[in-house]
Chains A and B, each alone.
Chain A
Amino acid sequence: DSGVTQTPKHLITATGQRVTLRCSPRSGDLSVYWYQQSLDQGLQFLIQYYNGEERAKGNILERFSAQQFPDLHSELNLSSLELGDSALYFCASSARQVSEQYFGPGTRLTVT
């Protein structure tokens, strides 16, 4: 158990819909990262927050957004969902800007 929690574990929704994925980092970790894992794209970095502020952006679509709240939990919002958005979405946290990341169990999103 990494100490990072993600909810829900599974999500099934239809195209065009909007969903919110939630992540709680390890106690004391200020950085939160979101990754997408799919068969065709592999593991891709989406976005990083540090203590409530966006710090880095990767291959995140404009339809996707994220935020980190004062209690340090983070939410990833995915809208206008397409079939190709079906993937595993991982959250990770780290204590400092450059240190090892601890991953949550992931949310499996299926868009039908």
Chain B
Amino acid sequence: AQSVTQLGSHVSVSEGALVLLRCNYSSSVPPYLFWYVQYPNQGLQLLLKYTSAATLVKGINGFEAEFKKSETSFHLTKPSAHMSDAAEYFCAPGLAGNMLTFGGGTRLMVKP
């Protein structure tokens, strides 16, 4: 079954620093890959979606992710962290039938 692994349950960066959140999918290429963000006490919000049309995907709030088949990765990046980026981030493959199997999540902390 398709799954993803998110390396690092907690990531801490300084404000203005590069954000890198890692996601690796299992060997077969899923038709879709998603990144979602969950702010405290809120539901999940779609950040971006990979659909094989382009390997570099731009999302909301300055985030982007690059699909690398050779590395089975779909890491999420942002050039400069902002305090408002503090949240939990989830990677998920889109499967046939569309149920989402989420990674364990990465909590991003941003230090002033």
- Show the binding face of A for B, using Cβ within 8 Å: 2, 4, 31, 33, 35, 42-45, 48, 55-56, 58, 90, 92, 94, 97-106
Contact = CB atoms under 8 A, between A and B. Distances in A.
Interface stretch (B20-28, B65-73, B93-101): B93-101
Given A43-B90, A106-B43, A100 B101 contact: no
Interface residues of B, number: 21
Given A42-B104, A42-B105, A43-B90, A103 B98 contact: no
A21 to B, nearest CB: 13
A98 B98 contact: yes
A39 to B, nearest CB: 11
28 contacts: A2-B43, A33-B99, A35-B100, A42-B104, A42-B105, A43-B44, A43-B105, A48-B97, A48-B98, A48-B99, A55-B97, A56-B98, A56-B99, A90-B43, A92-B44, A97-B98, A98-B97, A99-B98, A100-B46, A100-B49, A100-B94, A101-B46, A102-B46, A103-B36, A103-B44, A104-B43, A105-B42, A106-B42
